[in-house]
Amino acid sequence: MNDLQGVNIGGLMVGPRLPVRVMSVVNLSPESFYKSTVADSIEKFHEMITLAAEEGADIIDIGGVSTAPKNVYGTPDITIDEELERVTSALESIKVSGYPPLSIDTTSSRVAETALDLGVSMVNDVSGLHADPKMAGLIADRGAPVVLMANCGEPCSSVQAALQSLRDSFSIAQGAGIESEKIIVDPGIGFGKPPETDITILRELDLFAELGHPLLVGVSRKAFIGHILDQPNPDDRLIGSLVAAAIAVLRGANVVRTHDVGETKIAVQISDILRVSTRSD
């Protein structure tokens, strides 16, 4: 179990007794489901990470390949070599120390290793260490913090399935020697789940917070919001995303991952103050 000091991400502390942090999404993948956060050139990448920092992002999560589910968005397969090329070109073009801590969104140990070599502070593995057998050992050897997402090998069908998936990931992490105080958990909202399952997970986030690790939640522009509001186009889902992000904070999220930093920062600040006030009362 993690203590109350939280997880250190490149000098930024994340945890239950600290301000809720905002993680910006910057995609290097043209196949990503929400095109407004795709950096399709080095110039665009510079613009996007600079804007994210200016709008108050505490962490910037960089992904070289889309993790959006094929069955929802028809996402094409991308080779690890292509993912690696995208990530390497982007990171080599900047001075990493000039930005908030960077995270690499990947399930590949090759990509993670290169990103860490180029100054990234954290690995965000949506497979929960299941996709690449070398990933856990790499993270342990490098002493890097890691986000472990609930991943059942197929869309988790219930809250209990998602919780069990995370317990399985903890076992892999412990076996590889990853320190408990390096782990952040993500309940995995989206990723092809039925909307009703996503809604239930969001409603019962406190069960994930009780696992004893900081909790990262990503609801931004996701399909369950489109289902609730009859908005098939992710471009229309900003307001729903902000409401869901505020609810996530009130339910225990310590980090909110978003495509819309400025707006989400405001929603998070209000909901974080209300959460603290409620606990004080």
- Domain edges within the chain: 99-280
Chain-centre distance for alpha carbon 190:
12
Whether 250 contacts 213, CB under 8 Å: no
Under a CB-based contact definition with an 8 Å cutoff, are residues 150 and 126 in contact? no
Query: 244 pLDDT exceeds 70?
Result: yes
Q: What is the mean pLDDT of residues 242-264?
A: 97
| Phi (first) and psi of residue 216, to 5 degrees | -105, 135
Q: What is the pLDDT of residue 108?
A: 97
Weakest-pLDDT range from 9-18, 66-75, 103-112, 131-140: 66-75
277 band by pLDDT with thresholds 50, 70 and 90: low
Pairing, β 21-27 against β 12-14? unpaired
The pLDDT score that the predictor gives to residue 4 is 53
Cα 245 from Cα 243, distance rounded (Å): 5
pLDDT band at 2 (very low <50, low <70, confident <90, very high): very low
What is the arithmetic mean of pLDDT over 142-164? 95
Q: Does domain 99-280 have CATH number 3.80.10.10?
A: no
Mean pLDDT of the chain: 92
pLDDT band at 71 (very low <50, low <70, confident <90, very high): low
User: Going along the chain, which residue ranges are E strands?
Assistant: 7-9, 12-14, 21-27, 59-63, 102-105, 122-125, 146-149, 183-186, 216-218, 255-258
